[in-house]
Amino acid sequence: MSSRDNGDCPVAGDGLLVYDGDCGFCERSVAWIRTVSAATARAEPSHRVDLAGLGLTEVECRHAVQWVSGAERTSGPEALRDFAATGRRPAGRVAGLLVNRWTHPVSGLVYGLVARHRHRLGSPSCGLPTEPRQATTTLR
């Protein structure tokens, strides 16, 4: 995931984390990060914000969590790091140690694996489409 300039972003305060609101795992993860880091930034599901106004697309938000703050934008593990860094607890600083340019190959791989399989991580409310399953039994 990457960082890029977003021009004049209409986000006030510490920034905004945009996540897939149809995913229970995503909601619980954001709540957990807020708890352990005491993050002060806003976090909103993608269906509650003006994505175009933030320079985001629905596809980007389904693919990875997005962080928007001023002219900066990050996604994936970097977005979670930036969200956690708005907190007062040491967890925000630890996130900076775990997700950086040297660890990006590993953190990006782990994030990608979790993101692709989040519907399997005990999250029945995840509304992501899944491949239809073949019936394993036949009704008689």
**How does pLDDT run across 51-103, given as a tens digit for each residue?**
999 999 999 998 899 999 988 899 999 999 999 999 887 777 777 667 768 87
- Looking at the domain assignment, is residue 139 inside a domain? no
- Looking at the domain assignment, is residue 137 inside a domain? no
Residue with tokens 């996540």: 19
pTM value is 0.74
- Looking at the domain assignment, is residue 131 inside a domain? no
58 phi and psi angles, rounded to 5 deg: -60, -40
- Looking at the domain assignment, is residue 15 inside a domain? yes
Domain count, the chain: 1
What span, in angstroms and rounded, lies between the C-alpha atoms of 18 and 46? 6
- Looking at the domain assignment, is residue 136 inside a domain? no
Q: What is the pLDDT of residues 100-124, one digit of tens each?
A: 688 778 888 887 888 887 777 655 5
- Looking at the domain assignment, is residue 132 inside a domain? no
Q: Could you list the residue range(s) of the whole structural domain that residue 52 is in?
A: 3-120
Nearest alpha carbon to residue 56 among 11, 107, 23, 26: 11
- Looking at the domain assignment, is residue 53 inside a domain? yes
Q: For residue 105, what are the CA distances in angstroms to 61, 78, 91, 135?
A: 21, 12, 21, 38
CB 14 within 8 A of CB 78: no
